[in-house]
């Protein structure tokens, strides 16, 4: 049993979240003592705060969780999605007074402190969320240091924002490497003694090159589990270098920020899809959109949570999906570039999936590898396997 950590013993420190419109939210600081700038957004997932804070797609963002109590099951080393905390800052209504779970190894405040990331609790997260839904995502300053409200607002207004900035270069792999079992067990987690889905680990395996735009570890776990040997390459790896690795398929990962300035990735993807079966998710969907010559645009407040309904226009099936993005593809552009929209978001009608009409290429805007869930779209990895198998 993990040690129970009583947060009530923590020293009281004041903290502040200031938005560019002048709104100020004062509360209790936790995590690191620091002042950070970022885009204020919200996430509606009821579980999975550990996966959220370690998801590279959140680089440059200050996350407000809409679920009131956060931190109750602590942090464990098996469920992280990257090599550390990636969010700029973390805002919650109620930091749980205890962290108790048999898998927990460290408390949320201590984990954030290790990576220099500040947190804020005791604020009205409902008011923050309503403001962001009405006004849209805003530049923000989160500080757990001794600064005035006016100074915090000024810092938020001075921040450059995320549009037109390449955040992928901050989180992409620095060199080429092969994903292996030592980096994460590909077998789906289960409580000992319960049933697992039938293993596919003994099937014929294919070599896939994954372009890392800020990939989550669970993506590589899923690819490995479904029959792929994965070579991970930095986002700016040119097409010719990737061809030398002799892939049988290409995977385009998730990642943070604006896809528009990633010209190098657009060019590489445009070349690779002419030769290899390709599957993209999240940022990968955006990169594919640009590779086809279409455009993306910034959403008002984005899609972030584990409860986003998506309809498949081909089958009519509706899936509940996990999402984390602030941009979307322009459907009119896709229709004129050899692609068809296959899925849409039922909340706002935006593009959630596309498929090329002639090439073995498809992508989705959500996260089929979602951990802790939902798992409605997990079969997409099997679909990719069958696509690669067909063209091998």
Considering only the top CATH level, what class is 7-158? alpha beta
pLDDT, average across residues 98-116: 94
Residue 138 has pLDDT above 70, yes or no: yes
Report how far residue 345's alpha carbon sits from residue 318's, in angstroms, rounded to the nearest whole number.
Answer: 10
C-beta of residue 208 within 8 angstroms of C-beta of residue 217: no
Determine the average pLDDT of the residues in 119-124: 97
Q: Is the pLDDT of residue 2 over 50?
A: no
The closest of 311, 368, 369 to 342, measured between CA atoms, is: 311
- C-alpha angle 51-140-146 in degrees, rounded to nearest 5: 100
pTM for the predicted model, two decimal places: 0.93
158-187 burial string, b = 16+ CB within 10 Å, else e?
Answer: ebebbeebbbbbebbbeeeeebeeeebebe
Average pLDDT over residues 207-213: 98
List 273's β-bridge partners, or say none: none
Bridge partner residues of 362 (DSSP): 279, 355
Kindly state the percentage of the chain with pLDDT values over 70. 92
Q: Does the pLDDT value for residue 281 go beyond 90?
A: yes
User: To the nearest whole percent, how much of the chain has pLDDT over 90?
Assistant: 85
Average pLDDT over residues 259-263: 98
pLDDT in tens, 55-65: 999 999 999 99
Going from N- to C-terminal start, the domains of the chain cover 7-158, 168-391
Question: What is the rounded average pLDDT of the residues 276-287?
Answer: 98
Architecture, CATH, for domain 168-391: 3-Layer(aba) Sandwich (3.40)
Q: What is the pLDDT of residue 61?
A: 98
pLDDT at 6: 54
Inter-residue contact 235 to 213 (CB < 8 Å): yes
Q: What is the pLDDT of residue 180?
A: 85
pLDDT confidence of residue 192 = 58
For 90-111, what is the mean pLDDT? 94
Section 225-242 average pLDDT: 97
Please compute Rg for the chain using Cα positions.
21
Q: Is residue 314 within 8 Å of residue 342, measured between CB atoms?
A: yes
| Helix, coil or strand: residue 281 | strand
Q: What is the CA 330 to chain-centroid distance, rounded? A: 21
Q: For residue 358, how many other CB atoms are within 10 A of its CB?
A: 7
When comparing pLDDT for 8 and 256, which is higher? Answer: 256
The strand pairing partners of 363, in sequence order, are 280, 354
Report CA-CA distances (Å) from 23 to 19, 26, 95, 128, 163. Answer: 5, 10, 22, 9, 22
Alpha helix stretches (DSSP H) within the chain: 49-53, 108-114, 125-135, 149-158, 168-171, 217-225, 239-243, 263-272, 283-291, 331-335, 379-391
In the numeric block, the tokens 């060199």 are attached to: 175
Please give the mean pLDDT across all residues of the chain: 92
CA-to-CA distance for 263 and 287, rounded, in angstroms? Answer: 9
Q: In a 3-state reduction of DSSP, which class is residue 91?
A: strand
Q: For the ranges 9-18, 36-45, 102-111, which has the lowest average pLDDT?
A: 9-18
- Per residue in 319-351, pLDDT tens? 999 999 999 999 988 988 899 999 999 999 999
Whether 200 has a pLDDT exceeding 70, the answer reads: no
Residue 190 has pLDDT above 80, yes or no: no
**DSSP letter string, 16-42:** EEEETTS-EEEEEEEE---EEEEEEEE
311: pLDDT confidence band, cut at 50, 70 and 90?
very high
pLDDT per residue as tens digits for the range 347-365 = 999 999 999 999 999 999 9
Distance in angstroms (rounded) separating the CA atoms of residues 110 and 221: 27
- Interval 5-18 mean pLDDT: 75
Instruction: Return the pLDDT at 195.
Output: 47
Owner of token pair 């209504």 = 93
Tell me the catalytic residues.
282, 367, 369
Q: Which residues of 319-354 are buried (b: 16+ CB within 10 A; e: fewer)?
A: bbbbbbbbbbbebebbeeeebebbbbbeeeebbbbb
Residue of higher predicted confidence among 271 and 200 = 271
Per the structure block, which two tokens stand in for 330?
Answer: 């322009």
Res. 152: pLDDT tops 60: yes
Confidence of residue 176 (pLDDT cuts 50, 70, 90): very high
pLDDT of residue 185: 54
Contact criterion met (CB below 8 Å) for 339 and 297: no
Position 1 confidence tier, pLDDT thresholds 50, 70, 90: very low
Range 217-221, long-range pairs (CB < 8 A, 24+ positions):
217/80, 217/81, 217/82, 217/183, 217/184, 218/51, 218/81, 218/184, 218/369, 218/370, 218/371, 219/251, 219/253, 219/254, 219/281, 219/369, 220/179, 220/183, 220/184, 221/184, 221/185, 221/186, 221/369
Least confident of 13-27, 95-109, 155-169: 95-109
């Amino acid at each position: 049993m993990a040690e129970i950590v009583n947060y009530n013993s923590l020293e009281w420190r004041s903290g502040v979240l200031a938005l560019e419109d002048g709104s100020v939210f004062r509360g209790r600081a936790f995590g690191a003592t620091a002042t950070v700038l970022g885009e204020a957004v919200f996430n509606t997932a009821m579980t999975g705060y550990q996966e959220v804070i370690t998801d590279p797609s959140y680089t440059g963002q200050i996350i407000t969780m809409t679920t009131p109590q956060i931190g109750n099951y602590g942090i464990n080393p098996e469920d992280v999605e990257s090599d550390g905390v990636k969010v700029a800052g973390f805002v919650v209504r109620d930091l749980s007074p205890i962290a108790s779970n048999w898998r927990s190894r460290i408390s949320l405040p201590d984990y954030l402190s290790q990576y220099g990331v500040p947190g804020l609790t005791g604020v009205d997260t409902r008011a923050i969320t309503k403001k962001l839904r009405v006004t849209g995502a805003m530049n923000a300053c989160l500080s757990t240091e001794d600064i005035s409200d006016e100074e915090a607002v000024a810092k938020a207004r001075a921040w450059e924002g995320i549009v037109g900035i390449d955040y992928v270069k901050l989180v992409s792999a620095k060199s080429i490497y092969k994903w292996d079992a030592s980096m994460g067990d590909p077998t789906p987690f289960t409580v000992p003694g319960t049933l697992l889905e039938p293993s596919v680990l003994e099937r014929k395996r294919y070599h896939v090159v994954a372009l890392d735009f800020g990939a989550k570890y669970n993506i590589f776990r899923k690819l490995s589990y479904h029959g792929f040997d994965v070579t991970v390459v930095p986002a700016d790896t040119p097409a010719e270098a990737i061809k030398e690795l002799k892939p049988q398929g290409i995977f385009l990962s998730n990642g943070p920020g604006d896809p528009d300035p990633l010209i190098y990735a657009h060019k590489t993807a445009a070349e690779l899809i002419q030769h290899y079966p390709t599957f993209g998710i999240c940022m990968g969907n955006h990169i594919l959109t640009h590779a086809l010559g279409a455009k993306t645009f910034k959403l008002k407040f984005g899609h972030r949570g584990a409860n986003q309904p998506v309809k498949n226009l081909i089958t009519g099936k509706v899936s509940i999906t996990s999402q984390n993005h602030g941009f979307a593809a322009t459907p009119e552009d896709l229709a004129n570039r050899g692609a068809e929209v296959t899925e849409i978001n039922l909340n706002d009608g935006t593009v959630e999936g596309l498929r090329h009409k002639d090439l073995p290429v498809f992508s989705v805007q959500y996260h089929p590898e979602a951990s802790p869930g939902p798992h409605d779209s997990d079969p997409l990895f099997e679909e990719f396997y069958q696509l690669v198998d067909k063209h091998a």
